[in-house]
């Protein structure tokens, strides 16, 4: 499935290569660990968690581009190249089912994506206009 809910044959988004997949989307997944999840991080180590996340992404045809730990509302974030939305749903569902963390996902856009949208603005009327 193409990023952005495009129609069949139309593949919006960046054209990055991930192991034989010609069109992928980039997604930012932010995770917040539960108490039990953080206990696992302390036991296993941060590098071990990154390795586990990379393995999970690869199992659905995706690749972790970047992984960072963070302060604030989220404990961890990754930038993932995925072949479609379904792969990202599969990652998020597996995390949710573990009970160790909650996730928040943002579809990332390139400048080209934004310019395509700018060139084809929707017919919209503002309230009261």
Residue with tokens 């749903």: 89
Domains in the chain, start-ordered, CATH in brackets? 18-119 (3.30.70.920)
Mean pLDDT (10-residue bins), the chain, 129 residues: 36 43 81 96 96 97 97 96 96 97 96 92 93
- The pairing of beta strand 76-82 with beta strand 25-33: antiparallel
Look at residue 24 in the predicted model and tell me its pLDDT.
77
Q: Under a CB-based contact definition with an 8 Å cutoff, are residues 108 and 3 in contact?
A: no
Euclidean distance between CA atoms 76 and 17, whole angstroms:
25
- Per-residue confidence (pLDDT) for residue 23, from 0 to 100: 57
């Amino acid at each position: 499935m193409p990023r952005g809910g495009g129609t069949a044959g139309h593949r919006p988004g960046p054209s990055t290569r991930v192991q034989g997949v010609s069109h992928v989307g980039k997604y930012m997944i932010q995770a917040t660990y539960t108490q039990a999840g953080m206990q696992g991080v302390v036991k296993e180590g941060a590098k071990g968690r990154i390795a586990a996340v990379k393995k999970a992404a690869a199992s659905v045809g995706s690749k972790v581009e970047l992984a960072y730990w963070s302060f604030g509302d989220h404990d961890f974030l990754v930038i993932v190249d995925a072949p479609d939305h379904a792969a990202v749903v599969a990652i998020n569902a597996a995390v949710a089912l573990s009970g160790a963390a909650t996730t928040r996902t943002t579809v990332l856009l390139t400048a080209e994506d934004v310019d395509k949208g700018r060139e084809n603005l929707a017919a919209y009327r503002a309230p009261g206009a």
